[in-house]
């Protein structure tokens, strides 16, 4: 009997400790909210008026915090944290590894006379120099000049994890290049604030700040931790590289929104308590479509805070899952044949006067305002679709895109048939000045109808990568393991650029003698015409769409290397430079990091697959084959040469099939090793990633197929790998 799988399964017959991890939840979760956050309320309590005001100004207006104020804030943070049992602090940041990073330092400071005190200063709060030479930097820093530093981001509140005070920070090199996800995001948020605030002057002069908002939806799988440990592919790559589909998967749709299993519920409850304490406003939990797949979503928040909260959440989820003897899978496609996991990013723009700019208002003016931001967003996606595609590209997301309710790689915008008709009406607006009749017609029958239309906007299209959902756009293409900062940086940068262009064009028409509204209608009309190609209402999976998209000139960048190649287009490099997000070197470095990561991920998968196929699958198959051979020999002994043949027919055929599949695996692995070696020796990162994508990865399929065939032949008792049905249906 193969040991690991069966030992893991033996722990299951639902030992009490796995089930009885019940969690007490207070009746009012709100009472826990922000308990471990240096929130506005806590700051009011711990800071002087001057220091409090200074932080608020930094958050709202981006003003600098003076050194003496930082000292006060540091002491206040330390006092607050120590009152909660905290001993250490860390700059908490998001390097380009895709996970979060922290290096803890103690408040403990020895002083003269053999004594010691707890100390924290403004200098330490503002800036730290972690010896961070091992983080990906795409050649920006060499190890011999490995200086990078982390700098406090006061726009995201500090929080406590365990006994550590975590200070959200950005990570940059000494020469000023960004080395993390957050620094460029903050730049993009700033750019869209300026651009949108300036456009808002047409509609409401009271608006002085526009803040983009993000509501992410986190999908994930839970697998029993013992079963997880028994699958080397899950442990090393986050996904199963082998495994026959179980007879029952998600065909009956009986998991989606079904009653949540008790053990999972306990995990969710504990997770929600932790989220509440950390100020992550989670509100929604449910079973997702695939067996053992779930989702969690919070209220939307300002993008910067929402991004931090998602990164923090992923960390906490893994810890809490562990306590409940689960392992959490964030991989976009851990199991073939069932739904993968996304992290849909719901994006909108909010003003400091309390308006959502992607929500129509009570009067025609407000609706024109809505249309302005709506059409500009579509135009931005039209202009920069490939950049958006690149921002969601990863080896793991490649497995997910294009099937099972995840969008295809072709970027398009879905707005629903009714809004589509409104845009078609607007396309007919007269060029230049509008007659009073046309103005009234537009006001009453086109723009004026929008709120009604949206009330009934029930259209949903799960095959769309970018869908309007009534008062926000949902970027459905983002993968579950991604840091949302990357797509949010692109989204806000392209929106900013588009709104800047819009402002210039409208101003030029106004200067040419048109009234403001006329100018806006004129520019929007042109934008609708120019962006029509990106709008698509149909089935994103159909072959017809792929053909139609090609005709429309939309790219279908199916793989990460293709998407990343496009990212280096001069148009995008110039955009980043113009908007002050990245210089060319930074884009190149990031592109390089992503390519290297892609190649490394495929390389690891190839090695793990070769190992499992050769060292686990083939020996088990041969073991079973030997039993069959014994059986055939036995039959021959008993029945003699003539009679045994018909009796041993099925066994003989199985023996042959096993040999055929074993030989397929063996040859497949040999080819894979050769292809890997060839890819590994390529020095150009783009070419190397292409080799891994086109030469290495395709070899996985044959090996998997042969192994999955064997899984159906070999005695279950001898099969070494925990099966899909065991991982997906253990609750």
Using CB under 6 A as the binding rule, the residues of this chain from 401 to 420 that contact ligand GLN are: 405-406
Residue 184 in contact with ligand GLN, rule: CB under 6 A: no
Residue 400 in contact with ligand GLN, rule: CB under 6 A: yes
Provide the 8-state DSSP code for 63.
Answer: P
Alpha helix stretches (DSSP H) within 238-363: 262-277, 303-323
Residue 101: both structure tokens together: 């990073």
Alpha helix stretches (DSSP H) within 648-723: 649-680, 685-691, 698-713
Q: Chain-centre distance of CA 293, in angstroms?
A: 16
Name the minimum Å distance from CB 461 to ligand GLN.
11
- Count of residues binding ligand GLN (CB under 6 A)? 12
Tell me which stretch binds ligand GLN (CB under 6 A): 31-39, 77-85, 338-346, 547-555: 338-346
Residue 339 in contact with ligand GLN, rule: CB under 6 A: yes
Cβ atoms of residues 464 and 540 within 8 Å: yes
Residue whose CB is less far from ligand GLN, 333 or 616? 333
Which residue of 168, 342, 408, 540 would you call a contact of ligand GLN, by CB under 6 A? 342
Which residue of 266, 341, 391, 722 would you call a contact of ligand GLN, by CB under 6 A? 341
What distance in Å separates the CA atoms of residue 628 and residue 293, rounded to the nearest whole number? Answer: 39
Residue whose CB is less far from ligand GLN, 120 or 220? 220
φ, ψ for residue 470, nearest 5 deg: 100, -45
Tell me which stretch binds ligand GLN (CB under 6 A): 20-28, 399-407, 532-540, 672-680: 399-407
Tell me which stretch binds ligand GLN (CB under 6 A): 101-109, 272-280, 335-343, 658-666: 335-343
470-480 burial, b at 16+ Cβ within 10 Å, e below that, comes to bebbbbbbbbb
Classify strands 343-351 and 473-475 as parallel, antiparallel or unpaired.
antiparallel
What distance in Å separates the CA atoms of residue 56 and residue 36, rounded to the nearest whole number? Answer: 19
Name the minimum Å distance from CB 457 to ligand GLN.
17
Neighbours of 244 (CB within 10 A): 20
Measure Cα distances from 312 to 163, 181, 309, 328 in Å.
16, 14, 5, 14
Contact characters 468-507, ligand GLN, x per CB under 6 A: --------x-------------------------------
Tell me which stretch binds ligand GLN (CB under 6 A): 260-268, 336-344, 446-454, 644-652: 336-344
Name the minimum Å distance from CB 255 to ligand GLN.
11
Name the minimum Å distance from CB 214 to ligand GLN.
16
Residue 462 in contact with ligand GLN, rule: CB under 6 A: yes
Which residue of 279, 340, 408, 720 would you call a contact of ligand GLN, by CB under 6 A? 340
Contact characters 202-241, ligand GLN, x per CB under 6 A: -----------------x----------------------
Name the minimum Å distance from CB 491 to ligand GLN.
17
Name the minimum Å distance from CB 329 to ligand GLN.
13
Tell me which stretch binds ligand GLN (CB under 6 A): 321-329, 339-347, 524-532, 714-722: 339-347
User: Which residue has the CB atom at the shortest distance from ligand GLN?
Assistant: 342
Residue whose CB is less far from ligand GLN, 378 or 467? 467
Name the minimum Å distance from CB 594 to ligand GLN.
21
Name the minimum Å distance from CB 341 to ligand GLN.
6
Name the minimum Å distance from CB 289 to ligand GLN.
5
Using CB under 6 A as the binding rule, the residues of this chain from 657 to 696 that contact ligand GLN are: none
What distance in Å separates the CA atoms of residue 647 and residue 658, rounded to the nearest whole number? Answer: 19
Tell me which stretch binds ligand GLN (CB under 6 A): 31-39, 334-342, 575-583, 654-662: 334-342
CA proximity to 564, closest of 397, 368, 362, 433:
397
Q: Chain-centre distance of CA 718, in angstroms?
A: 38
Residue whose CB is less far from ligand GLN, 289 or 534? 289
Residue 291 in contact with ligand GLN, rule: CB under 6 A: no
Alpha helix stretches (DSSP H) within 392-483: 395-400, 417-426, 436-441, 450-455
End-to-end CA distance of the chain: 24
Residue whose CB is less far from ligand GLN, 389 or 400? 400
Name the minimum Å distance from CB 410 to ligand GLN.
15
Element (H, E) at 725: helix 724-729
178-202 burial, b at 16+ Cβ within 10 Å, e below that, comes to bbbbbbbbbbbbbbbbbbbbbbbeb
Neighbours of 245 (CB within 10 A): 14
Contact characters 591-610, ligand GLN, x per CB under 6 A: --------------------
Residue whose CB is less far from ligand GLN, 442 or 478? 478
Tell me which stretch binds ligand GLN (CB under 6 A): 4-12, 308-316, 398-406, 441-449: 398-406
Alpha helix stretches (DSSP H) within 47-152: 49-61, 67-82, 122-126
What distance in Å separates the CA atoms of residue 451 and residue 374, rounded to the nearest whole number? Answer: 13
Measure Cα distances from 396 to 483, 622, 680 in Å.
13, 33, 20
Provide the 8-state DSSP code for 32.
Answer: G
Cβ atoms of residues 696 and 679 within 8 Å: yes
Residue whose CB is less far from ligand GLN, 336 or 648? 336
Give the footprint of ligand GLN on this chain (CB under 6 A).
219, 288-289, 339-342, 400, 405-406, 462, 476
């Amino acid at each position: 009997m193969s040991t690991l799988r069966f030992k893991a399964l033996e722990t299951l017959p639902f030992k009490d400790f796995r089930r009885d991890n019940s969690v007490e939840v207070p009746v009012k979760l709100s009472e826990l909210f922000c308990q471990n956050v240096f929130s506005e309320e806590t700051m009011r309590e711990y800071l002087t008026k001057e220091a409090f005001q200074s932080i608020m100004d930094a958050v709202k207006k981006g003003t600098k915090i003076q050194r003496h104020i930082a000292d006060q804030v540091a002491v206040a943070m330390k006092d607050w944290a120590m009152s909660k049992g905290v001993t250490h602090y860390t700059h908490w940041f998001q390097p380009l590894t895709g996970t979060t990073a922290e290096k803890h330092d103690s408040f403990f400071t020895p002083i003269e006379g053999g004594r010691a005190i707890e100390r924290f200063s403004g200098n330490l709060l503002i800036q730290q120099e972690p010896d961070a030479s091992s983080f990906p930097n795409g050649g920006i820093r060499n190890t011999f000049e490995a200086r990078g530093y982390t700098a406090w981001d006061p726009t995201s509140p500090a929080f406590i994890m365990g006994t550590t005070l975590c200070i959200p920070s950005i990570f940059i090199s000494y020469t000023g290049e960004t080395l993390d996800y957050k620094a460029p995001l903050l730049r993009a948020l700033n750019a869209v604030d300026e651009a949108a605030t300036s456009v808002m002057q047409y509609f409401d002069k009271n608006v002085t700040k526009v803040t983009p908002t993000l509501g992410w939806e986190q999908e994930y799988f839970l697998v029993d931790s013992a079963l997880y440990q028994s699958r080397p592919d899950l442990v090393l790559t986050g996904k199963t590289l082998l495994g026959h589909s179980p007879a029952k998967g998600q065909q009956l749709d009986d998991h989606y929104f079904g009653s949540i299993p008790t053990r999972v519920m306990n995990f969710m409850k504990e997770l929600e308590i932790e989220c509440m304490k950390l100020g992550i406003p989670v509100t929604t939990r449910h079973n997702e479509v695939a067996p053992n797949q779930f989702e969690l979503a919070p209220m939307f928040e300002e993008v910067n805070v929402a991004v931090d909260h998602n990164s923090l959440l992923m960390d906490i989820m893994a810890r809490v899952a562990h306590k409940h003897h689960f392992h959490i899978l964030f991989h976009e496609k851990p199991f073939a044949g069932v739904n993968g996991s996304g992290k849909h990013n719901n994006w909108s723009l909010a003003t400091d006067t309390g308006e959502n700019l992607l929500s129509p208002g009570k009067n025609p003016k407000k609706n024109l305002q809505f249309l302005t931001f709506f059409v500009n967003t579509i135009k931005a996606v039209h202009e920069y679709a490939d950049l958006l595609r690149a921002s969601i590209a990863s080896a793991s997301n490649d497995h997910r895109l294009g099937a099972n309710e995840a969008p295809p790689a072709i970027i398009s915008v879905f707005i629903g048939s009714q809004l589509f008709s409104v845009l078609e009406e607007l396309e007919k607006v007269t060029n230049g000045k509008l007659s009073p009749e046309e103005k009234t017609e537009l006001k009453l029958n086109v723009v004026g109808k929008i709120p009604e239309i949206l009330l009934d906007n029930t259209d949903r299209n799960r095959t769309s990568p970018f869908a309007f959902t009534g008062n926000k756009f949902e970027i459905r293409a983002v993968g579950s393991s991604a840091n949302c900062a990357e797509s949010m940086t692109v989204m806000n940068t392209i929106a900013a650029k588009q709104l800047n262009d819009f402002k210039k064009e409208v101003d030029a028409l106004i200067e040419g003698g048109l009234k403001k509204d006329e100018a806006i209608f004129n520019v929007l009309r042109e934008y609708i015409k120019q962006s029509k190609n990106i709008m698509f209402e149909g089935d994103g999976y159909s072959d017809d769409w792929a053909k139609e998209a090609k005709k429309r000139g939309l790219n279908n960048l199916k793989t990460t290397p293709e998407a990343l190649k496009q990212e280096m287009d001069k148009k995008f490099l110039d955009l980043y430079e113009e908007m002050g997000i990245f210089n060319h070197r930074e884009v190149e470095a990031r592109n390089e990091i992503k390519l290297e990561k892609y190649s490394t991920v495929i390389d690891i998968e190839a090695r793990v697959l070769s190992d499992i196929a050769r060292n686990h699958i083939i020996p088990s198959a041969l073991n079973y084959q030997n039993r069959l051979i014994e059986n055939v020999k036995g039959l021959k002994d008993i029945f003699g040469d003539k009679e045994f043949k018909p009796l041993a027919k099925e066994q003989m055929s199985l023996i042959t099939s096993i040999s055929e599949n074993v030989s397929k695996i063996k040859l497949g692995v040999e080819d894979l090793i050769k292809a890997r070696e060839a890819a590994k020796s390529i020095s150009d990162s783009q070419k190397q990633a292409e080799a891994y994508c086109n030469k290495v990865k395709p070899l996985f399929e044959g090996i998997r197929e042969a192994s999955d065939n064997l899984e159906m032949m070999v005695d279950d008792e001898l099969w070494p790998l925990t099966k899909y049905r065991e991982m997906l249906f253990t609750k």
